[in-house]
Amino acid sequence: MPLTAEDQPETVRRIAEAMGMMMVKVEAREYRLEKLIEELRQLNETIRQNTIHMVSSLANALAARDQYTEGHTARVSELAAAVAGQMGLDAEEVEFIRLAGILHDIGKIGFPDALFQDHGQKNPDHLVRQIKKHPQTGAEILKDLDFLGPSLEYIHCHHERPDGKGYPRGMHDEEIPLGAKILAVADGYDAMTTDRPYQPGKSKDEALTILRKMSGTKWDPKCVTALDQVLTDRSK
């Protein structure tokens, strides 16, 4: 016999009816919460997409000044993300590395035109000093964009080297974040294999030989191995 039936004592019936009403309200609230969560999920995805578009616009602003940068940032971003995946980093970390790849050279946006003219000769000292500032300039330009998270530091450190001879801060191996080491390997590989007006790009094998030779000094050995694996898998 249901607790709300006519022949139940009145107190029992009232309690049962109140409980029933409560259950209906709880279910309605649960439904509203689920809808809200779904709306939040969609909003989050829209923000993520807008973020990526905004980041790409920043990178395009640099590409408009420097032809070489255009394809370079996209390739470095894609390759760095693949290396990060190969090293078993989680999806969120891979995305931060991808973002850092798109923006790693944004600090070059303040370069004088002379620095975008590839003349194939050694740059004079005052220009070299400017070149070496670009990771820091980039980090300063982007510092208020909270969504970049650790990407900001990867950008700041993408020219640091395990042997401490990198720039701008001459950091040592253990101080350099893994994301920056991954970027450095992808950046180095792409720079070596890209054709320049004054010299053709190196082959994949030539570039890998140089990366292996300078593994432990200029580049992180684990990142070099992972890049090697990514490229080997791609050529199968």
Nearer to Fe ion, 145 or 191 (CB): 191
Pick 105 or 220: Cβ nearer Fe ion = 105
> What is the number of the residue whose Cβ is closest to Fe ion?
105
- Based on the number of CB atoms within 10 Å of its own CB, is 92 exposed (0-12), middle (13-18) or buried (19 or more)? exposed
- Choices 38-46, 98-106, 199-207, 216-224 (CB under 5 A): range interacting with Fe ion: 98-106
Q: Map 182-218 to HEC letters.
A: HHHHHHHHHHHHCCECCECCCCHHHHHHHHHHCECCC
Q: What CA–CA distance (Å, rounded) separates 217 from 55?
A: 31
Nearer to Fe ion, 4 or 194 (CB): 194
Helix/strand/coil for 82: helix
- Binding status of residue 105 toward Fe ion by CB under 5 A: yes
> 5 to 34, contacts with Fe ion by CB under 5 A?
none
Nearest distance from residue 144's CB to Fe ion, in Å? Answer: 21
Our CB check for Fe ion shows the closer of 93 and 105 to be: 105
Asked if residues 84 and 184 have their Cβ atoms less than 8 Å apart, the reply is no
Nearer to Fe ion, 73 or 215 (CB): 73
Total residues at the site for Fe ion (CB under 5 A)?
1
CB of 108 to Fe ion, least distance (A): 7
Q: Write down the least CB distance from residue 138 to Fe ion, Å.
A: 8
- Is residue 207 within 8 Å of residue 192, measured between CB atoms? yes
Minimum distance from residue 85 beta carbon to Fe ion (Å): 22
What's the rounded Cα separation, in Å, for the pair 157 and 166? 9
The answer to whether 112 and 169 are in contact (CB under 8 A) is no
Measured from the CB of residue 105, what is the shortest distance to Fe ion in angstroms? Answer: 4
Task: Give the residues lining the site for Fe ion (CB under 5 A).
Answer: 105
